[in-house]
Structures are given as structure tokens and as C-alpha cells.
């Protein structure tokens, strides 16, 4: 019997559906991990910046290491923890979509082993995207869409930094316009989440004659917003990777599950 050829384009609805199916089934574990790894550092950074606003009459403060040291430290920590979170959630989501248990604890172990290459590939791709945006924006969008599943490819297929980038280019070729539309959809999701939680965290205090948000409330809201957005992004990347493997290579759940043998 002849085997039907896989379709050539991704189905955006199927990617979204798969992603939210995995998220719904594992929400407590996924969100708890995101809250710890990305929500806490981002919450602290937001709190620190807002708590210094009453000292706005001291411009030397905003040029000092005392002000920027904690911010830079939080940014570096967030970069590391975001890489760790991606590995944990991508592997857990692919496992779930392959018909297995998410296996959260083993995903953490794997993530720790892949932490350095994930950070390196994120830096390389980020620099390329930034360079592309400097060249009149469109090249940046094209590079972003081409390398969007580099991290899932690295986590699932262990091809190294540049091998995973090439793998992402191959998988996304022919579907990049739909990938761009999918990215826009999730960008809108993130804007809505940030807007709603921004309103919740917008209670104000008066400091130095200037009305500013309450640092504790705003920081907490920012942390929850960051955690939710991080979960949606990581799970969606995993669902997109599964979809691309399916449409480009006809991969079944058995093929995907074989990655973990």
C-alpha cells in the first residue's frame, strides 16, 4: 500500500492546539518551574528598578554600580535560567506529544547537561537576528523564522550549536511565512498577558513627588507575567518542532518517541 506523502506546510491551528494540550495537561509543573526559573529573577529586577525611583533626584545613583549591579546580575541569571527552562519544557512537551509521560525530573537532568550549548546557540542566533534587524528589519525577521526551532533541535537531536542551526533552517524552509504568522499570534498573547498583569501591578505610591507603581506588587505581577509568557513560548516551540518534523519528514509519534530510547 502506498504511503501518503506528508503535507508541505505547517498547520498553525494544530501547533497551537498541541501546545495548549501539553500545557493544560502539565500546567502546575510547567508553570511552577517557569515561576521559579524566570519569574523570580524578573520579579526581583522589576522590584529593584521601581524601588529606586524615589531617589530619582540623585542622578549619580543611576550611573553607579550599586544601581546597575543587581540589574545586570538579574539579567545574566535570567539568561541562564531561561536556557534551563527551555530545555526542561521542550523535552517534556515533546515527550508528552509523543504519547509518553512528560518525565519532568529526567528533563531537568538533561537540561543541566545541555545548559552551556543552549546558552551558546541562543547568543549566536540572537546576534544574527539583531544584525538582521539592523539591516532594515526584514532580514532579521527572516533569520528569526529560519532559526526558531534551533533550541528544540539541539535538545532533541544533539547536533551541536551549528548543526542544530542548520537543522532548524532545513525544517523551517518552505513554512517560514506561516511561522512568522504563528510568532505574531503568540506575540499578541504575550502583550495581552503583560497588559492584564500590568494593570494588576499598577497600584501606585507617591515617592519623591512622582507617582510610581508599588514595587512589590508590580514586581510580583511582572514575575507572573514573565513565567506565563515563558511557558507559552517554550511549549509552543516544542509543538512547532513536532509539527515541522511531521510535515517535512512524515514523523509519527513512534519516530518522535524513539529520540528518547
Lowest mean pLDDT among 48-52, 158-162, 180-184: 48-52
What is residue 152's predicted lDDT score, i.e. its pLDDT? 93
Burial 108-142 (b: 16+ CB within 10 A, else e): eebbeebbebbeebbeebeebbeebeeeeeeebee
Instruction: Say whether pLDDT at 203 is over 60.
Output: no
Determine, yes or no, domain membership for 122.
no
How do residues 129-172 score in pLDDT, each as one tens digit? 999 988 878 889 999 999 999 999 999 898 889 999 999 999 99
Which has the higher per-residue pLDDT, 229 or 135?
A: 229
How do residues 28-43 score in pLDDT, each as one tens digit? 999 999 999 999 988 8
What is residue 74's predicted lDDT score, i.e. its pLDDT? 80
Beta bridge partners of 211: 206
Give me the domain span that covers residue 75: 12-51+65-115+175-260
DSSP-derived letter for residue 148 is T
- Reported as type and span, the H/E element at residue 201 is none
Determine, yes or no, domain membership for 246.
yes
Number of domains in the chain: 1
Determine, yes or no, domain membership for 5.
no
Q: What are phi and psi of 213, to 5 degrees?
A: -65, 150
Determine, yes or no, domain membership for 217.
yes
Determine, yes or no, domain membership for 123.
no
Determine, yes or no, domain membership for 196.
yes
Determine, yes or no, domain membership for 211.
yes
Determine, yes or no, domain membership for 102.
yes
Q: How far is CA 181 from CA 177, 178, 223, 237, in A?
A: 6, 5, 27, 14
Amino acid at each position: 500500500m502506498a504511503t501518503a506523502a506528508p503535507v508541505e506546510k505547517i498547520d498553525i491551528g494544530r501547533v497551537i492546539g498541541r501546545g495548549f494540550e501539553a500545557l493544560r495537561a502539565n500546567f502546575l509543573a510547567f508553570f511552577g518551574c517557569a515561576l521559579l526559573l524566570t519569574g523570580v529573577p524578573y520579579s526581583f529586577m522589576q522590584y529593584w528598578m521601581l524601588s529606586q525611583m524615589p531617589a530619582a533626584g540623585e542622578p549619580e545613583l543611576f550611573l553607579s554600580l550599586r544601581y546597575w549591579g543587581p540589574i545586570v546580575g538579574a539579567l545574566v541569571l535570567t539568561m541562564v535560567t531561561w536556557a534551563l527552562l527551555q530545555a526542561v519544557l521542550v523535552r517534556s512537551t515533546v515527550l508528552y506529544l509523543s504519547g509518553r509521560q512528560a518525565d519532568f525530573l529526567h528533563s531537568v537532568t538533561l537540561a543541566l547537561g545541555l545548559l552551556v550549548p543552549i546558552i551558546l546557540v541562543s547568543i549566536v542566533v540572537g546576534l544574527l537576528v539583531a544584525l538582521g534587524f539592523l539591516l532594515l528589519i526584514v532580514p532579521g525577521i527572516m533569520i528569526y523564522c529560519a532559526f526558531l526551532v534551533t533550541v528544540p533541535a539541539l535538545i532533541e537531536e544533539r547536533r551541536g550549536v551549528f548543526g542544530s542551526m542548520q537543522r532548524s533552517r532545513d525544517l523551517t524552509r518552505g513554512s517560514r511565512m506561516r511561522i512568522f504568522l504563528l510568532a505574531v499570534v503568540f506575540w499578541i498573547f504575550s502583550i495581552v498577558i503583560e497588559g492584564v498583569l500590568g494593570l494588576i501591578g499598577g497600584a501606585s505610591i507617591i515617592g519623591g513627588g512622582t507617582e510610581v507603581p508599588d514595587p512589590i506588587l508590580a514586581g510580583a505581577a511582572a514575575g507572573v507575567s514573565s513565567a506565563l509568557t515563558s511557558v507559552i513560548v517554550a511549549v509552543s516551540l516544542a509543538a512547532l518542532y513536532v509539527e515541522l518534523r511531521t510535515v517535512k519528514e512524515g514523523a509519527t509519534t513512534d519516530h518522535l518517541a524513539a529520540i528518547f530510547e
